[in-house]
């Protein structure tokens, strides 16, 4: 996975992310992206355990431990995370950049546009920091 590779995402995955984001607003929603290679196969919506969930997110660590455990026993891999920006910022915030691990993870950010329609942007957290990823939507 690098920033030149387009992500493959199922339409059901995108629908689950935007539904979680809409439902959590004005708090940030978050969760774990599961898949293989550049393909996001499913999403695990988790609790946002941040002390300030309207401005920050923190994936429930117990859910993350469980997801990694499942991956080790042959399940889909943890390839990244999603969270939402109810304020409409459709890119990583300064806080996100500061917490970047530069570990090659995929970050998906859900944000509403000026009409209130939620959409997503995809990012690669690589050695150079966040770079925009293109994505293809597959059916189902």
CA 48 → CA 9, 35, 53, 99, 106, distances in Å? 23, 21, 7, 16, 18
Whole-number minimum distance, CB 93 to Zn ion, in Å?
Answer: 4
Pair type for strands 135-138 and 7-10: parallel
Residue least distant from Zn ion (Cβ) = 96
Is residue 58 near Zn ion by the rule CB under 5 A?
no
CA–CA separation, 23 and 64 (whole Å): 21
Whole-number minimum distance, CB 107 to Zn ion, in Å?
Answer: 8
Q: Which one among 41, 58, 96, 125 touches Zn ion, defined by CB under 5 A?
A: 96
Is residue 93 near Zn ion by the rule CB under 5 A?
yes
Stretch that binds Zn ion, among 45-53, 68-76, 93-101, 113-121 (CB under 5 A): 93-101
At a CB cut-off of 8 Å and minimum separation 6, what does 94 contact? Answer: none
Whole-number minimum distance, CB 140 to Zn ion, in Å?
Answer: 28
| 79 versus 83: smaller Cβ distance to Zn ion | 83
| 56 versus 66: smaller Cβ distance to Zn ion | 56
CA–CA separation, 84 and 102 (whole Å): 20
CA–CA separation, 23 and 55 (whole Å): 16
Contact residues toward Zn ion (CB under 5 A) are 93, 96
């Amino acid at each position: 996975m690098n920033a030149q590779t387009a992500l493959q995402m199922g339409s059901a995955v995108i629908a689950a992310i935007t539904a979680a984001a809409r439902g959590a607003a004005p708090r940030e929603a978050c969760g774990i992206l599961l898949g293989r290679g550049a393909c996001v196969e499913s999403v695990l919506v988790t609790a946002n355990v941040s002390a300030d969930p309207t401005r920050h997110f923190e994936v429930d660590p117990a859910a993350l431990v469980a997801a990694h455990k499942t991956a080790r026993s042959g399940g889909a891999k943890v390839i990244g995370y999603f969270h939402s920006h109810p304020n409409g910022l459709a890119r990583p915030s300064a806080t996100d950049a500061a917490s970047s691990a530069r570990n090659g993870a995929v970050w998906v950010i859900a944000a509403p546009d000026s009409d209130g329609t939620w959409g997503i942007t995809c990012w690669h957290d690589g050695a150079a920091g966040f770079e925009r990823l293109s994505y293809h939507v597959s059916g189902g």
